[in-house]
Structure 1
Amino acid sequence: MIINNSLDEVKKRENALSIIKDIVESKGRSSLFDLTGLSGGFIASPSELSLLETYVGPAIFEDDLQKVGKEHMGGEKVLPVNRTSSGILATILTLVSKDSNVVHYLAKLPAHPSIPRSCSLVGANYFETDVLDEFEIPENTSLVVITGSTMDHKVIDEDEFRKVIEMAHEKDIPVMVDDASGARLRTVVFNQPKACDMGADIAITSTDKLMPGPRGGLMAGRKDLIDEIKVKVSQFGLEAQPPAVLAMLNGIKNFDEKNLVDSFTRKDELFELLNEKFDNFETTPTGVMISPEGLASELNVSHNLSDHDVAFVFSFILLKDHGIITIPAVSMPGASPTIRFDLSTNDAFNLDLNDLYKKIESSFNKLQEVVINEDKCKEIVF
């Protein structure tokens, strides 16, 4: 095994960031291709940057964020936090009591780890399922959670979405929607309504996913609940700082739905190219992906690595040899190790798809060569 625990995941991420730094310093930013779908950005004018003081920044930019945030997310009020996981934690700290139940429905397991981890912190019982017939809301349930789009971009069916909300509200239980990428993916590509417009009490999105904003979280929903959650956010230092608030504001203003629509069509072209050599790539709404299990099954050599380790090694070969950033190389502990090539980013539009295919093929050929040598694989990852 190469990646055995969360500390290993932190160390491999540090190595990935070091590689990225070396590429930028030696070859320039144009030699990097961020295909994570999480590339985000920080859009700000010089006059705006001059206002990023501890108290002046929030005074100026948070009011504007209320307006554009509600247009983007729906709901009565929005709350910027430093990460989506922070907002999830604050919501669970606020609404969930010890020994109560939290039940979660999503299109495909597993959930983002921040949700069960937050439940564990408060001593709640946590259940998740991706089978609607198995979804139940037991007595003493304090919160129902829905994931709009999973870590691998599996989007929930709208009828199932509405059904779970209805089941929760029949028992007067609040619903929180983890809409990290779904706030844009569901609404733009799948033409679903905003989570709050379908009755969700709280929804949260990641402001760097499929939009040019910073790594951060934006919550929206019922004013009374947002106000309660804001207390916890402030108590535990989970609030977004002025620079992030400004970047969120401008990220939403500059969000271009056309990029998602264009990537929806380009993905088929890339999939067809990959399908000539590989058997296990799948399409996502905005690109293509291959699971760790699928990638491992493509190999025709014997090795001792786990499927997840194979994905990590592949992601580092893509990064080191071709400057292609994928989630497994740079992700936080617990994130999905699925290799995803998201075509909605600016970097993706600068890539010829035939060239991208050749880079993927070359990286896979190298993976075949090194996977038999575990020490070499450790060297690549760490």
Structure 2
Amino acid sequence: MIINNSLDEVKKREKALSIIKNIVENKGREFLHDLTGLSGGFIASPSELSLLETYVGPAIFEDALQEVGIAHMGGEKVLPLNRTSSGILAAILTLVKEDSNVVHYLAELPAHPSIPRSCKLVGANYFETDVFDEFTIPDNTSLVVITGSTMDHKVIDEGEFKKVIEMAHERGIPVMVDDASGARLRTVVFNQAKACDLGADIAITSTDKLMPGPRGGLMAGRKDLIDEIKIKVNQFGLEAQPPAVLAMLNGIENFNEDNLINSFDRKDQLFDLLSSKFNNFKKTPTGVMITPEDLAKEINIPHNLSDNDLAFIFSFIILKDYGIITIPAVGMPGASATIRFDLSTSDAFNLDLKDLTKKIESSFEKLLDVITNEEKCREIVF
């Protein structure tokens, strides 16, 4: 195996960032194409930047964020955080007792690792399932978690969403929704209601996913719970700093639903082009993807690599050769190794899909050339 642990994933990510830096410095930003769906952005005017002081910034921008954040997420109050994972951690630290249960329903396993890791940190028992008929809430449950849209963009059924909330509230148990991309994907593409409007007590989204905001988290929900969670956030330094708050504010205000809708239409064209060469690509709501397991099915050459290794190597080849950024190359430890070509990002708007298909095919041929040479594969990734 090439990637064996979280440290390997950190080193892998550092290598990917060095490749990106090299492309920008030697060719220019226009030679990069971020197709992760997490490209985010930092929109700010010179007059706004001049206000990014330690206390002036929060005084101005956090107040403005309340209005646009509630409009975007629902709920009674919002809380900006430095990461979605930070908000999940703070919520679990606040609401979950040691030795109690946390149960999680999502459309497809696995959950984002920040959820079970946070439960382990507080000494709680964690259970997750993607089979609705198997979902139960045992005695001594502190928190019910729902994922609106998985890391691979599989969206929960709204009827099941409502039912899980009803089951929890019948027992007096709060519901937290991990709506990292779902806050936009569910609502815009699938016409579902906001998580808080469906009855969730708190919901959190990633402000760089499918929108032009910074890498950060925005939590919304009941005012009493947000205030309690905010105490933990401040105690552990999990709050978003003034620059991120400003970027969140402007990112939400500049979010364009049409971009998601257009990518929803273009994904069919890309899928059809790739299907002439490959058998195992699948559509996502905003593009196409291939899981590590499905990538392995495309390969008939004997090798000793894991399925995830194949995805990492493939993502590095297409990054270095063509400047195309996908999640396996740049993702944090524990992130999905599924390769997604997301067409909702600004870099994707003007891409010629036939040209993109040729680059994907070329990168796959290079993958076939190197997989029998493990040392060469390590060189590509590290």
Same fold (TM over 0.5): yes
Give the match's secondary structure for 1:198.
Answer: coil
Which residue number corresponds to residue 289 of structure 2? 289
Pair 1:116 & 2:113 matched: no
Q: State the partner residue of 2:104.
A: 104
Counterpart position of 1:12? 12
Equivalent in the alignment of 1:66: 66
Q: Residues 254-274 of structure 1, C-alpha deviation per residue, up to 9 Å, x if partnerless?
A: 000000000000000000000
SS state at 1:255 partner? coil
1:364 is aligned to 364
Which residue number corresponds to residue 278 of structure 1? 278
The 2-side partners of 1:205 and 1:188 are apart by: 14
After superposition, what is the alpha-carbon deviation per residue over 1:77-98, rounded to whole angstroms, capped at 9, x for unaligned?
Answer: 0000000000000000000000
Number of residue pairs the alignment of both structures matches = 382
Report deviation, 1:101: 0.1
SS in 1 for 2:197: helix
TM-score by length of 2: 1.00
Deviations 1:289-333 (A, max 9, x none): 000010011012111000000000000001000000000000000
The AA in structure 1 aligned to 2:107 is A
Residue by residue over 1:80-133, the C-alpha shift from the partner in whole angstroms, topping out at 9 and shown as x without a partner, is 000000000000000000000000000000000000000000000000000011
Q: In structure 2, the residue corresponding to 1:149 is in which secondary structure?
A: coil
Unmatched segments (≥5 aa) in structure 2: none
Query: Which amino acid in structure 1 is aligned with residue 108 of structure 2?
Result: K
- Distance of 1:52 and 1:371 partners within structure 2: 49
Amino-acid identity (%)? 84
Aligned to 1:301: 301
Look up the SS of the partner of 1:39 in the other structure: coil
How far apart, CA to CA, are the structure 2 residues paired with 1:322 and 1:373?
A: 22
1:317 aligns with 2:342: no
The equivalent residue for 1:84 is 84
Aligned equivalent of 1:329: 329
Per-residue deviation at 1:381? 0.3
Q: 1:343 and 2:359 equivalent?
A: no
1:134 corresponds to: 134
Residue type of the partner of 1:13? R
| 2:219 aligned with 1:219 | yes
Matches within 5 A, 1:156-175: 156-175=156-175
Q: Structure 1 counterpart of 2:103, which letter? A: V
Give secondary structure in 2 for the equivalent of 1:142: strand
Distance 1:190 1:348 in 2: 21
Q: Provide the rounded CA distance (Å) in 1 between the counterparts of 2:355 and 2:175.
A: 44
CA displacement at 1:350 relative to structure 2: 1.9
- 2:261 matched to which residue of 1? 261
- Partner AA of 1:313 in structure 2: I
Secondary structure of the residue aligned to 1:196 is coil
Opposite residue 341 of structure 1, the aligned amino acid is: F
Query: Is 1:50 aligned with 2:32?
Result: no
Equivalent-residue separation in structure 1 for 2:297 and 2:373 (angstroms) = 17
Q: Deviations over 1:148-199 (max 9, x none)?
A: 0000000000000000000000000000000000000000000000000000
Q: Secondary structure of the equivalent of 1:136?
A: coil
Letter of the 1:38 counterpart: L
C-alpha distance in 1 between matches for 2:359 and 2:33:
11
Q: Distance in 1 between matches of 2:303 and 2:30?
A: 35
Shift of 1:21: 0.1
Aligned amino acid, residue 308 of structure 1: N
The yes-or-no answer on 1:95 pairing with 2:95 is: yes
Name the aligned partner's letter for residue 239 of structure 2. E
Deviations 1:51-92 (A, max 9, x none): 000000000100000000000000000000000000000000
- Return structure 1 stretches of 4+ with deviation > 4 angstroms: none
Letter in structure 1 aligned against 2:268: D
Hey, what's the Cα distance between the residues in 2 that align with 1:97 and 1:379? Answer: 46
Matches of 2:48 and 2:69, distance apart in 1 = 18
TM-score (norm 1): 1.00
RMSD, aligned CA: 0.3
Q: Which amino acid aligns with 1:110?
A: P
Counterpart Cα distance in 1 of 2:346 and 2:91: 33
SS in 2 for 1:112: coil
How far apart in 1 are the matches of 2:97 and 2:170? 20
